[in-house]
Amino acid sequence: MFIGHYGPSFAAKAVRQRIPLWVLFLAVQLLDVFWSIFVLLGIEKVRIAPGITAVNPLDLYYMPYTHGLFTAMLWSILAAVAYHAFRKQDGWLSAGFVGAAVYSHWILDFVVHRPDLPLYNDRLKVGLGLWNYPVLASALEVVFLFGGMYLYLRTTKPVARGGSSGFLVLGMVMLAVQAIVFFGPPPSSDRAAAMTALFSYCLFAAIAFWLEQKRTPKALRPGSIPQPAQVSVAKPDASSRALPRPLP
Ligand SMILES: [Zn+2]
């Protein structure tokens, strides 16, 4: 999965507005960010194998440090702890959201990857292989990305020019990049694949940082919390509110 990973980042932002969107953008792709770096360092391995799945030509034959069931869990916990260290004021709940965002990557990868995600060390590999069904795989990416974005746009309002259209343009650009990844020519090498991925993730996070300044959380809708007039028709006078009732 590629752009669909951003669905959970928008959804997390919608319910936990204090977490910066760009942090959530990096969180949902953190395993792939590390994967790119590890491939460039020669720690994890990938080879270009056109046709290995219907839409993704990468043979991800060795990535136990980033895409293992337990290593992914470890990165998620570390990400939550790191977030809490830098932004204590947001509380552990926000840190938990960041950790969950990191782990959402593994779960969504599990749906689309061929069996190349190791459960333990480099063994017992799993993956449901949705990448072999181009229409379904593309639909899932679109539904996740735009579904998440819808939740975010619904819970925030624009405060500057481009606050709404900017996100829609971003969504369209992501869609175009996804189409090239799925249906364009395969990357020229393993390093090219890693560098393109790393560049894309950093660029999208930077754009999220820029665009999120243009929106602010919506205030609570009038009526979403009980108004004093709705609670009690007769207005109690100040003295009866301030003083406790005398015991009989
Ligand atoms: Zn991945």
pLDDT 10s digits, 113-147: 989 999 988 889 998 988 889 899 899 999 999 99
Ligand 1 centroid to residue 120 C-alpha, Å: 16
pLDDT of residue 56: 83
List 118's β-bridge partners, or say none.
125
**pLDDT computed for residue 240 by the predictor:** 45
Q: Cα(155) to centroid of ligand 1, in Å?
A: 28
Beta-carbon count within 10 A of 70 CB: 12
Percent of the chain exceeding pLDDT 70 equals 88
Q: What's residue 122's pLDDT?
A: 86
* C-alpha to C-alpha distance for 143 and 55, rounded to whole angstroms: 18
213-223 average pLDDT score: 74
> What's the CA-to-centroid distance between 22 and ligand 1, angstroms?
18
Phi and psi at 213, nearest 5°, equal -65, -20
Cα(100)–Cα(63) distance, integer angstroms: 20
C-alpha 30 – ligand 1 centre gap (Å): 9
Centroid of ligand 1 to alpha carbon of 105 (angstroms): 6
For 134, list phi and psi in degrees, rounded to 5: -55, -40
Question: Is the pLDDT assigned to residue 43 strictly greater than 60?
Answer: yes
Single pTM value for the model: 0.84
The predicted structure's pLDDT at residue 163: 86
Q: Residue 106 C-alpha to ligand 1 middle, in angstroms?
A: 7
Question: 33 CA to middle of ligand 1, Å?
Answer: 9
- Measure 96 CA to ligand 1 centroid, in angstroms: 20
Query: How many angstroms separate the CA atoms of 192 and 156, rounded?
Result: 37
Indicate the range of 31-35, 103-107, 178-182, 243-247 predicted with least confidence. 243-247
Predicted pLDDT of residue 121: 87
User: One-letter amino acid identity for 63?
Assistant: M
Measure 197 CA to ligand 1 centroid, in angstroms: 10
pLDDT of residue 188: 87
| pLDDT attached to residue 120 | 87
Give the β-pairing of 45-48 and 58-62. Answer: antiparallel
From 107, 109, 82, 106, select the one nearest 94 (Cα to Cα): 82
Cβ contacts of 147 within 8 Å, gap of 6 or more: 7, 11
Residue 26 CB neighbours (<10 A):
22
Query: Does pLDDT of 230 surpass 70?
Result: no
Most confident of 45-59, 150-164, 219-233: 150-164
Burial of 1: CB neighbours in 10 Å, binned 0-12, 13-18, 19+ = buried
Ligand 1 geometric centre to CA of 86 (Å) = 25
Average pLDDT of the residues of the chain = 87
Tell me which residue of 22, 231, 2 sits closest to 12, measured CA to CA. Answer: 22
